[in-house]
């Protein structure tokens, strides 16, 4: 039951989180820093109360190691948010963020190549759509393409940084043991002072959110700006999503966790396309399929299925 409950949390939490993120970004494309700050603050507060017992519990992994991890984690989060300022469609961002795989040896190179090809197809097709949208002025079209390329470069850098962070995290877990909930708390608590550097941006979007149309919450009868309501639901669903992943890591193998998260991203993508009627050509579908094919190959799903079908002989052959 624990596994089933965790999978439900992951799919419900993460898929609904993507929907409300798109509702926020469609209205205010630059609100990513405010969204990230709200998510970090909520998860840090929950961890401070329930994980660290109001700061009385000492960390199992030294703080200096968390500082390094947090620097990478904060950088990745902020760069992913800022990429949306550069004409990056949120679907392309989801595909890129879903593909952080490049952290293992040579046996995984084919999977990484497939993921890279898939992302390349999606980004090129998005560039063509951008060019068509700006074909009225050659100068405007050139500026839009250059603006878009900067966004792609930011996503690429964030992808590589995310991979490096994964290697560092695995090294820490091997040395000190797995402390996923502790890492979750420190990854979200320690970066909070860094948001002071983004104070102006966050404050401006707080003002914009407060000026959005008011809406009445049905059950409690409270009136609040609709963008704040979207943000509140986004933060809660983000917590549900991360909590589900955490439970899943304690109940299942890493392979199962990776497969569930990958399938969740795929369903989030499809739901977003259908619900928001996002432009998605046949080539976008091809690129997406190649990305997820590479991800499944990377997680060795095919080998696992073969083992289940052929039983002990397949396991023995692999061991040899």
Note the pLDDT tens digit of each residue in 123-172: 566 555 555 555 555 556 666 667 767 777 777 777 677 667 767 877 88
Residue 248 in any domain: the answer is: yes
Residue 45 in any domain: the answer is: yes
Residue 81 in any domain: the answer is: no
Report the percent of the chain where pLDDT is more than 70: 61
Residue 313 in any domain: the answer is: no
Residue 216 in any domain: the answer is: yes
pTM, two decimals, is 0.69
Residue 24 in any domain: the answer is: yes
The rounded Cα 217 to chain-centroid distance in angstroms is 28
Domains in the chain, number: 1
Candidate ranges 24-33, 84-93, 109-118, 273-282; pick with highest mean pLDDT: 24-33
Domain that holds residue 260: 1-57+180-277
Quickly count: other Cβ atoms within 10 Å of residue 143's Cβ: 12
Residue 123 in any domain: the answer is: no
Residue 49 in any domain: the answer is: yes
């Amino acid at each position: 039951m624990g596994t089933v409950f965790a999978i439900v949390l992951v799919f419900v939490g993460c898929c609904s989180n993507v929907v409300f993120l798109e509702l926020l970004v469609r209205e205010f494309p630059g609100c990513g820093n405010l969204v990230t700050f709200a998510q970090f603050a909520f998860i840090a507060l929950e961890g401070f109360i329930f994980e660290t017992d109001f700061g009385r519990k000492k960390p199992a992994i030294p703080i200096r190691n968390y500082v390094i991890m947090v620097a990478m984690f904060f950088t990745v989060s902020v760069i992913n948010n800022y990429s949306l300022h550069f004409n990056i469609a949120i679907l392309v961002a989801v595909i890129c963020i879903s593909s952080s795989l490049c952290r293992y040896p040579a046996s995984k190179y084919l999977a990484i190549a497939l993921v890279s090809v898939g992302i390349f197809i999606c980004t090129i097709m998005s560039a063509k759509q951008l060019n068509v949208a700006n074909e009225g002025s050659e100068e405007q079209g050139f500026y839009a393409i250059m603006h878009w390329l900067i966004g792609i470069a930011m996503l690429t850098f964030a992808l590589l940084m995310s991979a490096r962070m994964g290697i560092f995290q695995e090294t820490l877990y091997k040395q000190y043991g797995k402390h996923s909930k502790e890492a979750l708390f420190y990854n979200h608590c320690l970066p909070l002072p860094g948001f002071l550097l983004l104070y102006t941006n966050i404050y401006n979007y707080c003002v914009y959110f407060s000026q959005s149309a008011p809406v009445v919450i049905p059950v409690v009868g409270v009136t609040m700006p609709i963008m704040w309501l979207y943000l509140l639901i986004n933060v809660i669903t983000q917590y549900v999503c991360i909590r589900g992943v955490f439970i899943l890591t304690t109940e299942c193998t890493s392979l199962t966790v990776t497969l569930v998260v990958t399938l969740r991203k795929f369903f989030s993508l499809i739901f977003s396309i259908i619900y928001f009627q996002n432009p998605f050509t046949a080539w976008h579908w091809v690129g997406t399929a190649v990305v997820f094919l590479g991800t499944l190959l990377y997680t060795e799903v095919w080998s696992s299925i073969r083992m289940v079908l052929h039983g002990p002989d397949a396991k023995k052959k692999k061991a040899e």
